[in-house]
Amino acid sequence: MRNNLDKQVILLFFVSLIILGVNLGIFPVNIMEARNFITAREMVQDDNWILTTLNGEPRYEKPPLPTWLTAVLGLVFGFDSVAVLRVAVVLTTFLLVFYIYKLSLKLGLSGRNSFHNGLILLTSFYIYFAGRDNQWDMYCHSFMIVSIYYLWNILRLNKEPVKNAVIGGLFLSFSILSKGPVSIYALFFPFLLAYGWVYKFELKKNKKYLKALLIYLSVGIAVGVSWSVYVRWADPVPLAEVAKKETSRWINDYNSKSFFYYWNFFIQSGIWSISALLALIYPYMKSRVSDLKAYKFTLIWTLASLILLSIIPEKKVRYILPVLIPMALTTGFYVEYMISGLKTKTDKIIAVFHFGLLGFIGISYSPVLFFVFKEKISGQMLWAVLSSVSMFIMGVVIFYYLKRNNFKKVLYSLVALQCVIIIFAFPLAKSFLHNPRYRSVKELHRFTGDKMTLYDYKYMSPEIVWDYGEKVPYIDDAGIEKQLVKLNKDYIGILCFEKDTDKLIKNWQKKYNVRKVSYLDLNTVSPDNKDYKDRLTRNFLIVFKKNY
């Protein structure tokens, strides 16, 4: 038995390595990552690890633990490789997958079922998407699952309550230090609700476990709020402004969406969408699960998380991440039923349709790629061929095992299909992420140096600051005036939007030489694409005295 568990952990590790770690630097840095990376870089450059900054300004919107971990990587390996900086979130996601596996075992599920739950979680689209994207969400929810695992040991009256309390409390604090109370609300409270409903709380007559629970909460809260308490003492005004802004976003109409905005959340599980939907239907599942009590627990945990998140007016797709974690456990019950033997012809038709569709996608990938996107992929023919052959093989394998009703092998084939996509198809993203006007901010370094400071006029795009590699101070008209007065033989550089260019030249050309000398465009899609963002573009002006 121990042997099998060890093999499952090793297999989970290697599949996680492929899904999360291969081709990690393919996709461009997004706005949230850029904020994290800039703050990490400034921690190292300015040796300021507590009063965190973004482009030289106080940045207290998010607690610093994810940024600390990223900064350590930057300190050791430098800040040039995006893939290296993303390793921090990859390792944190490893932790999530491993502890979901362990929590499944604690639920009384078999080693096989627990192993499958880990695979389902890992290959759920938004889980591995967030696990390759170095922003705050994955950290806080991963650390919370670890904390919940040790809390489970306390609630179930397992051995070593104090040890479980200290470790669980520390990971609770790590979650708070990653994104404040977000995971407490989205994962911890729903867990307590589901646990109380299904298993009941039985700590009243066990004082040592009540003591352990007190230690757990004390360690978690005390360490978790330590950074906020210090910042409140050391720099209270900016922190108060941030707290006011963040609170208003949660309770007012900022990004407000309907209560039902998240209710197609199962789609975010990608290849498991239909399985997840079926697993959520209690009347359908109750006679098909091997452990009804454990199923009820994971189902209530999933739905409670969904409802609590739905109550909050502010909604974004990435906020649904915590729901997908208990949902992987819930989906596992359907997958286990399917592997154990489908009871009805209807069940078999649904399963064949679901997984046959994925097999069809594998087989049809090649003709679609070469006939529809032939021009786009012409520069990456090797990856196109490798991905086509491997996708076709996996599609055939899926149909082969479907025909033989071997749903266990179908499951493993789907995981292999996901691995194939990561290894061979992801590099083709470069063919689709192309902007003929692309120009990096780094190119402006040939104009800059000791004689020039670069400013951004009335706006700051984190991606631009990150790409430049240094701070790009915000400046307005009054700031320009102040800097121009100081000019001697030096000059200043100004980044501005197209709409502001003519105005700036007109305002300053009487007294100074103003030249538009270049531009930048960090978009990875062409200007005619709907995803093209004007905020990633600037014109570059230099301003210097006329007698220079």
pLDDT tens digits, one per residue of 374-410: 878 878 889 999 999 999 999 999 999 999 999 999 9
Sequence-distant (6+) residues with CB within 8 A of 495 are 454, 455, 456, 457, 464, 472, 520, 538, 539, 540, 541
What does the pLDDT average to over 498-521? 87
Last residue of a domain, one of 339, 364, 393: 339
Residues 174, 186: Cα–Cα separation, whole Å: 15
Last residue of a domain, one of 339, 369, 396: 339
Domain count, the chain: 3
Residues 384 and 332 occupy one common structural domain: no
Residues 389 and 449 occupy one common structural domain: no
Q: Residues 513, 493: contact at Cβ < 8 Å?
A: no
**pTM exceeds 0.85, yes or no:** yes
Residues 263 and 158 occupy one common structural domain: yes
Residues 455 and 498 occupy one common structural domain: yes
Please state which of the ranges 38-47, 198-207, 238-247, 531-540 shows the lowest mean pLDDT.
Answer: 238-247
474, containing H or E segment? strand 474-475
Residues 314 and 364 occupy one common structural domain: no
Residues 425, 18: Cα–Cα separation, whole Å: 13
Rank 81-90, 155-164, 453-462, 530-539 by mean pLDDT and report only the highest. 81-90
What does the pLDDT average to over 64-74? 96
Residue-by-residue DSSP string for 208-250: HHHHHHHHHHHHHHHHHTHHHHHHHHHSHHHHHHHHHHHHHHH
- The candidate with the shortest Cα–Cα distance to 137, out of 91, 89, 192, 97, is 89
Residues 446 and 529 occupy one common structural domain: yes
Integer-rounded Cα Rg, in Å, for the chain is 26
Distances (CA, A) of 81 to 24, 66, 85, 390: 10, 17, 7, 29
Residues 188 and 217 occupy one common structural domain: yes
The residue count for the chain: 548
* Residue in this structure with the two tokens 């531009």, named with its chain if needed: 519
Instruction: Please name the amino acid found at residue 369.
Output: L
Confidence of residue 489 (pLDDT cuts 50, 70, 90): low
Residue 52 has pLDDT above 90, yes or no: yes
Residue 548 has pLDDT above 60, yes or no: no
As a whole-number percent, the residues of the chain with pLDDT over 90 amount to 63
What does the pLDDT average to over 300-316? 90
Residues 334 and 364 occupy one common structural domain: no
Provide the residue range defining the domain that includes 516. Answer: 441-545
Residues 396 and 476 occupy one common structural domain: no
Two tokens, residue 108? 């009384």
Last residue of a domain, one of 432, 461, 494: 432
As a whole-number percent, the residues of the chain with pLDDT over 70 amount to 95
CATH number of the domain bearing residue 447: 3.40.190
Residue-wise over 293-324: b if at least 16 C-beta within 10 A, else e?
Answer: ebbbbbbbbbbbbbebbbebbbbeebbbbbbb
Q: Residues 421, 23: contact at Cβ < 8 Å?
A: no
Sequence-distant (6+) residues with CB within 8 A of 545 are 487, 488, 489, 512, 513
Residues 199 and 300 occupy one common structural domain: yes
Cα within 13 Å of Cα(15), Cβ side: 25
Residues 452 and 423 occupy one common structural domain: no
Confidence of residue 236 (pLDDT cuts 50, 70, 90): confident
Rank 163-167, 242-246, 490-494 by mean pLDDT and report only the highest. 163-167
Residues 507 and 536 occupy one common structural domain: yes
Distance of CA 241 to the CA centre of its chain: 26
